[in-house]
Amino acid sequence: MSEKELGQKWDRCLADAAIKVGAGLGLGIVFSVVFFKRRTFPIAFGTGTGLGMAYSNCQNDLRSPYLVHSNATKEQ
């Protein structure tokens, strides 16, 4: 695997992590305010779930060197 490919995978991982953690945090805040009388456990649960999903996706992406992503293919 070249350095460029590794850099692209890390960029995808970090972007995916930011999106998933942000979505988990946002949903945790909404559930905390609406359903659980402003307790903190929904925020921690949502953030942790987003972080865990992002970690799993990054682990899968970094361990599969032969997977071709759609944005890496050339148009013919």
Residue 46 lies in a domain: yes
Nearest 5°: the CA angle 24, 49, 65 is 110
* Residue-range definition of the domain harbouring residue 52: 3-62
What 3-state DSSP class applies to 12?
Answer: helix
Task: Give pTM, 2 decimals.
Answer: 0.73
Residue 13 lies in a domain: yes
Of 32, 24, 12, nearest in space to 53 by CA: 24
Residue 56 lies in a domain: yes
d(CA 76, CA 67): 19
Residue 76 lies in a domain: no
Per-residue pLDDT of the chain (76 residues; tens, 9 = 90+): 678 888 888 898 999 999 999 999 999 999 999 988 888 888 999 999 999 999 998 988 888 766 666 665 565 5
Residue 75 lies in a domain: no
Tokens coding 13? 């991982």
Tokens coding 53? 């999903």
